[in-house]
Structure 1
Amino acid sequence: MKVLEGIRVLDLSIAMSGPFAAMKLADLGADVIKVEPPGGEWQRHAAAGGARGNEVNASFLSLNRNKRSLSIDLKSEAGGRLLRDLVATADVFLQNYRPGVAQRLGVDYETLSAVKPDLVYVSISGYGETGPYARRPGQDVLLQAMSGALFSAGRPGEPPTPAPYFLVDAFAAYSAFEGALAALFHRQRTGEGQLVQVNMLDAIIAAQMQEISVRTVGGVPQTRGEAIHAHSYIRAPYGIFPTGDGYLALSFAEPAVLARLMEDPRLAAYEAERDGFREREAISTLVEENLRKRTTAEWIEELGAAGVWCGPVYGYDDLLTDPQVLHNGSFVTYDHPTEGTVTTPGFPFKLSRSAQAVDRPAPVNGEHSHEVLRELGISEDRIDRLEKDQVIVRARPAARNPL
């Protein structure tokens, strides 16, 4: 039995943070119904990296497995009634509309909790539901920039480099997932539903618990330097260094050990804790100079044998074939009716007594509209009329993409 089997989630979210959070609930066995507009969720049509599928883009596939799709026009009176009927059967409702949109659609917490008093309602926003920035666009790189993190690495005078993946969306998704689970546990103990509010700004601030506390408690400012250094609050050498044929990740290496392995007595003059911060420019410059003399593989073998923390710098193709990744089963592969064989990242944790699997591929828009409405006790004749009146959409998968 799966952990959340018997829990029904209505996922009205778009883009990444909401769908990712809802997918994590689905992976644990919740019945997640993705409620989409007649044209389908925005992410179906916005191809990340230009990776367009036959009917379903790669980005949508990656965030919507194990869900069912109900395609419904919430702007219509009949569509609103159908949703409220569905809410009466739900345990969790999740949305990430901009402030004010949920109220206009009649799917705000006050309205839906009147329909289902013990509903767990999860609302994700960019900066918060209220306040001076409430209506700003909550886009990942904007929030990375605002979070303060980008001035903890790089060189002065150069533009800070944001993370090359949607870091803030991911932290917001995990926060929403945690909040939903906590509220479900509270409901189990008390019978009470509640509103769970998550915003991306707070999520990325909380993720920097240690770094920000070094500034607020320890009084140490962020200081970028000219030499390679990946984190202003970690002693040198720390970061990604060029080698004779590529790059090497190096972390918490003792200068005295490096002096011996690199046969460079200049490094022996530095002591890790005493000089790792105040002399980080000089230490990093010497390490970079020496690492260029040999290949990455040679350094990993020699440094690793001496207990120095180091490792390769991968691209995605390297990651997919790494023996530890293969051993862990870090990716899942399944069959999709229109996209063929799909491989995506799998489950970030394993449960000894509960199963996790891809039981449903990411749905085609409206693929389960009839199925979900039948579960509400709605007759086939009425369902057919709703489809004819364009209140709902039922999509049938097209031919499989031969690629």
Structure 2
Amino acid sequence: MNDNDSLPPAAQGEPQSGLPRGVLSGIRVLDCSIAMAGPFAAQRLGDLGADVIKVEPTTGEWQRHAAAGGAAGNKINVSFLSLNRNKRSIALDLKSDGGREILRDLVATSDVFLQNYRPGVAARLGIDYDSLRELNPRLVYVSVSGYGEDGPYRNRPGQDLLLQAMSGAMLSAGQHGEAPQPAGQYLVDAVTASTAFEAVLAALFHRERTGEGQLVTVNMLDAITTLQMQELSVFTVGKVKQQRSDQPHAHVYIRAPYGAFKTSDGFIALAMPDLPELGRAIGEPSFLSMTSEVHGWSHRDELFEKTAAKLIENTSEHWLDVFAQTSIWAGPVYDYEALVNDPQIIHNGTFVEYEHPTEGPVKTPGFPYKFSATPARIDRGAPLTGEHTREILESLGVGGDRIDELIRSGDIAAVDEQATPAQTAEQPVRS
């Protein structure tokens, strides 16, 4: 697909393996992003076989120094480890002439450039789209921002919780008058990563048809807003406002009962059952004469209260067994330990395990869908800062003396200790 195809495997960043080459093999990605959204998108490209080169500051990317949950790791914290597998690291000072020169050389041999700098930073560094397309007109340039490339909020911090709050999503669940409840995961970062990943694939497909690269802009505000396609259409088209009531319903736009209910030994989830059928299952006679699509809206709090009063009387296992004999939608409320050990999760191969050279055994979510001919795979775990600086520069034809000179000047950073590729016994990301 580009000049990388003429390079030997080592120069392309393609470890040797008995597995088929990934669907994006031969594609080179320069990942200049930090935190979660950009790195997560780039990691997925790497899982599909792209040669992802993580361009870091000489002191390491920000996420290396911010350990979620305090999980610091040995040399790489879990936050960074989870978002940067299947990448090589080159550490450059992009404020220096030497660092920028190397980056421009890499751009000339790359297919995708991904960045989430603050507005204006890329232009100041001379690595904005207009500058880089002169070097490589086929380049797919992806810019990820919090609120958009311009506009009144362009300089606001693009932080997950702030965008969850602004998106309106927090007020689609919970109780009237109570504090809004954020999602239990970094929802906006994750959906933005998926959006950017999709955008790269679409832009590469366009380039295969036309030979043209292009600028792709993705912002977190639009990503989380468009995720709520159904909810927002109910408001904008159906003219139905968000109205939380006195009981903690899981969603304002779905009829009761709908939510998590306490049992005698835990919780179960119950999703919009037929009311007479639910009444027979739990022994609540008042539900028998109700119409689901009428009373499910007009009696939301009453339905929640009466259902809760019945379910607390017995165990989660009991109620799940009862509901399994009906057409009622019900399921367990898991913690992470239960999720990881669930038989369907194990059957699906949702989690992958490999040996990282500095962090030891790693068990982590894999890739979310499968290709029959070109499966996603893990060739290496997250790199040390600048672990592949020397290797990448040598592939550009830079001599050892020049590399040593750049290290001494501080334009680049490299590590002497080299981590080895992830030991996966040549297993695909999902089995």
TM-score tier, shorter chain, comes to over 0.9
Distance 1:213 1:63 in 2: 33
Which residue among 183, 195, 198 is the counterpart of 1:163?
Answer: 183
- Would you say how many aligned residue pairs link Structure 1 and Structure 2? 400
Q: Which runs of 5+ in 1 are unaligned?
A: none
2:149 equivalent to 1:129: yes
Distance 1:303 1:11 in 2: 48
Give 1:275 shift: 1.5
8 A contact 1:228–1:285 mirrored in 2: no
Distance 2:72 2:416 in 1: 19
Which residues of 2 match residues 319-334 of structure 1 at below 5 A? 319-334=339-354
Structure 2 vs 1, CA of residues 389 and 344 (structure 1 numbering), >3 Å: closer, same or farther? same
Distance 1:334 1:64 in 2: 14
Q: 3-state DSSP class of the match of 1:335?
A: strand
Which residue among 38, 52, 55 is the counterpart of 2:72?
Answer: 52
Give 1:82 shift: 0.7
After superposition, give the CA deviation of every residue in 1:153-175 in whole Å (9 maximum; x if it has no partner).
Answer: 11111110000211000111011
The code of the aligned residue for 1:191 comes to G
Which residue among 188, 191, 197 is the counterpart of 2:217?
Answer: 197
8 A contact 1:338–1:397 mirrored in 2: no
The code of the aligned residue for 1:20 comes to F
Distance 1:358 1:111 in 2: 33
Distance 2:174 2:326 in 1: 29
State the match for 2:158 in structure 1.
Answer: 138
Structure 2 vs 1, CA of residues 396 and 287 (structure 1 numbering), >3 Å: closer, same or farther? farther
Distance 1:204 1:228 in 2: 23
The code of the aligned residue for 2:88 comes to R
State the match for 2:26 in structure 1.
Answer: 6
Normalization by structure 1: what TM-score?
A: 0.97
Which residue among 301, 309, 319 is the counterpart of 1:289?
Answer: 309
After superposition, give the CA deviation of every residue in 1:220-241 in whole Å (9 maximum; x if it has no partner).
Answer: 1111011231000111111101
8 A contact 1:102–1:108 mirrored in 2: yes
Distance 2:177 2:283 in 1: 34
8 A contact 1:127–1:202 mirrored in 2: yes
Q: 3-state DSSP class of the match of 1:269?
A: coil
The code of the aligned residue for 1:117 comes to P
8 A contact 1:253–1:309 mirrored in 2: yes
Q: 3-state DSSP class of the match of 1:383?
A: helix
Q: 3-state DSSP class of the match of 2:309?
A: helix
2:342 equivalent to 1:302: no
State the match for 1:236 in structure 2.
Answer: 256
Distance 1:188 1:225 in 2: 52
8 A contact 2:384–2:419 mirrored in 1: no
2:92 equivalent to 1:67: no
Distance 1:186 1:87 in 2: 19
The code of the aligned residue for 1:272 comes to S
Which residues of 2 match residues 27-176 of structure 1 at below 5 A? 27-176=47-196
Task: Work out the percentage of aligned pairs sharing the same amino acid.
Answer: 58
After superposition, give the CA deviation of every residue in 1:51-84 in whole Å (9 maximum; x if it has no partner).
Answer: 0011100010000000000011111011111110
Q: 3-state DSSP class of the match of 1:239?
A: strand
2:240 equivalent to 1:220: yes
Distance 1:107 1:315 in 2: 44
8 A contact 1:338–1:398 mirrored in 2: no
8 A contact 1:296–1:312 mirrored in 2: yes
Q: Which runs of 5+ in 2 are unaligned?
A: 1-20, 421-431
8 A contact 1:14–1:96 mirrored in 2: yes
The code of the aligned residue for 1:138 comes to G
The code of the aligned residue for 1:385 comes to E
The code of the aligned residue for 1:351 comes to F
Structure 2 vs 1, CA of residues 131 and 329 (structure 1 numbering), >3 Å: closer, same or farther? same
8 A contact 2:161–2:182 mirrored in 1: yes
8 A contact 1:267–1:286 mirrored in 2: no
Give 1:399 shift: 10
8 A contact 2:387–2:419 mirrored in 1: no
State the match for 2:397 in structure 1.
Answer: 377
The code of the aligned residue for 1:57 comes to N
The code of the aligned residue for 1:142 comes to L
8 A contact 2:383–2:419 mirrored in 1: no
After superposition, give the CA deviation of every residue in 1:361-392 in whole Å (9 maximum; x if it has no partner).
Answer: 10001000011111111112211211122211
